[in-house]
Chains A and B, each alone.
Chain A
Amino acid sequence: MFKDLLNSARSNFEAHQRAEEIRHLDIDPEEYVMLRDDKSPMAVELLKAVLEKLNLPKWEVDEGTSRIVRISEVQGSRKNWSLALTSDTRRFHLKIYRDFDADLEEIDLVACRGICAAINFVETTIQELHERRIREAEIRRIALIKEEIRRKKEEFAKIQAKVEHVNKTFLSIYAKELNSFKLGETIIESAIRYISDKVDTLPHAEILLPAGNLQNTLIQFAGEQFKIIDNVPCKLDEATGAIRISNSFIKYCVNAKNHIEPKCGELKFNEETKELVISFKDSNGIQVGPQKVYREPASSREPILSFSLRQKSSIPSPHHIGIQARTIELVSDPLQEITNISAKVEQIDASMRDEGAKVSVLSIYLETSSFRDIIAPINNLLSSIAENVSLIAWNSKNSAGEAE
């Protein structure tokens, strides 16, 4: 134990002595020259002692040249030096080895009077350069990230604009297809308007009548046979006593060249004179062309039209459907389809207003995302309604016949 204490005391003393030896150790440029010229082991030892004092692991003594050098990298047992400290009798210099930082060549050691200050200055400068490079790299990295963020924001904005555009387009379509009804409009009214809008967009020149024209047909059904046109709804205007044929149908009347053009047609039946007056008005409500007056032959079989009108007082308005045309066949299927649907919808609106049809249609509407999807259910619904209406009409006719 005593020996251990002695050894401990001895090692402490030696450490203290060593610390004292190197505490004030320093050499100036001239002494560095002398020391290197001396080429003695003591010169190398002194230089090592200087580095021991500075405690810089990257620095070492090149024993071949008695120079202090800085290690840039270690490859196995081989060490590459980045720079060496040299001097003349007045000042220190740096010898920069190739492939090392060119910025170090600008290091000026003129103000370093001692070797310790010179080495510390070089090391501090290298550290500062290293940190500056890291900062610059970080700044570049942040700039790149910012640029990336800016680019992504732009992309996002573009995508957002596209999405917004798509949304708007979709909403526009959606609104047109589904939500085009106006405030206070019923679903059916909205649907009718939607169909009418579609009809308006159809090219008129492509819609031709096969033979004759609507006027002739009207003449026919105003005459002896008084044919009924399928699915053409006519409403009785109770205030004026006029029969108004659905605009979506009648407004496409045939002009002199057998082309359909939009006009508002009106049928008016005068019960007293038994005359059927057909007139056409343009979109401003101004009458176009002369009125055509048809008289129902007294001997003819009572047509449904007159029957309907006659039954006006006995059948509560507006639960009756008037004319059913049979003879007109339109070439254009879309128009036919739309016309039929329009007619049926109007039929529903007219006949089932108080009987829950609106609710039924509304529920169909709510369950689908496309107007076209509701056409089939409406058709089905309308077919059943039409059958009922026909049945009512037939029953009424029969009952009227029986009464006569």
Chain B
Amino acid sequence: MFESGLKYIDGINIDAMLFSNPKKAVVINELRHNAINYDEAIAKAKQYDYPLITEEAREMVDRLIDDSSLTKYEKYIFKLHNKKWNFYKKSSINSRG
């Protein structure tokens, strides 16, 4: 069985992160890179495992959204962004918008 090694990072204020930027795609990317150890898992995995890791990361971000204090509509919209957007490198988060 494939083990992605993905896990949540403790001590992250998810609510604060969700409201940190009006651009939801940016916020989603930040969650992926900062609220879970996505970068670390990618670094350890082989390239053909990337899709599996990415998919699991999406599900973990969805759960973070579900657990947040957002309204159901805001959660839905964030999940849409999470579903649509591909993953970017952490270094490119700030330059993309």
Contact = CB atoms under 8 A, between A and B. Distances in A.
Interface of A: 20-22, 25, 27, 31, 34-35, 38, 42-43, 46, 49
B77 interface: yes
Given A20-B71, A21-B71, A46 B76 contact: yes
B84 interface: yes
13 contacts: A20-B71, A21-B73, A22-B73, A27-B77, A31-B24, A31-B77, A31-B80, A31-B81, A34-B84, A35-B80, A42-B76, A46-B76, A49-B73
B7 interface: no
3 closest A-B pairs by CB: A21-B71, A34-B80, A46-B73
A261 B4 CA distance: 146
A31 B82 CA distance: 12
Contacts of A31: 24, 77, 80-81
Nearest to B84: A34
B20 to A, nearest CB: 16
Nearest to B73: A46
B23 to A, nearest CB: 9
A40 to B, nearest CB: 8
B90 interface: no
A25 B73 contact: yes
Interface string B73-97: 1101100110010000000000000
Chief secondary structure at chain A's binding surface: helix
B21 to A, nearest CB: 13
Q: Which of B71, B73, B81, B84: most chain A CB closer than 10 A?
A: B73
Interface string B58-83: 00000000000001111011001100
A60 to B, nearest CB: 18
B73 A34 contact: no
Contacts of A20: 71
Chain B, interface size: which category? Answer: 10 to 19
Contacts of A35: 77, 80
Contacts of B73: 21-22, 25, 46, 49
A21 B71 CA distance: 6
Interface in B22-46: 24
Contacts of A34: 80-81, 84
A20 to B, nearest CB: 7
Nearest to A42: B76
Contacts of A43: 76
Given A20-B71, A31-B24, A38-B80, 9 more contacts: A21-B71, A21-B72, A25-B74, A27-B77, A31-B80, A31-B81, A34-B84, A46-B76, A49-B73
A21 B73 CA distance: 7
A346 to B, nearest CB: 117
A34 B72 CA distance: 16
A261 to B, nearest CB: 119
A89 to B, nearest CB: 10
A21 B84 CA distance: 24
Nearest to B25: A30
A101 to B, nearest CB: 32
Nearest to B76: A42
B7 to A, nearest CB: 28
B45 to A, nearest CB: 28
Contacts of B76: 42-43, 46
A42 B72 CA distance: 9
A35 B80 CA distance: 7
Contacts of B24: 31
A49 to B, nearest CB: 6
A25 B72 CA distance: 10
Contacts of A25: 71, 73-74
B24 to A, nearest CB: 8
Most buried by A among B72, B74, B77: B77
B28 to A, nearest CB: 12
B25 to A, nearest CB: 9
B8 to A, nearest CB: 25
Contacts of B77: 27, 31, 35, 46
A116 to B, nearest CB: 13
A274 B76 CA distance: 147
Nearest to A49: B73
Contacts of B81: 31, 34
A102 B77 CA distance: 34
B3 to A, nearest CB: 31
A131 B72 CA distance: 39
B85 to A, nearest CB: 10
Nearest to A31: B77
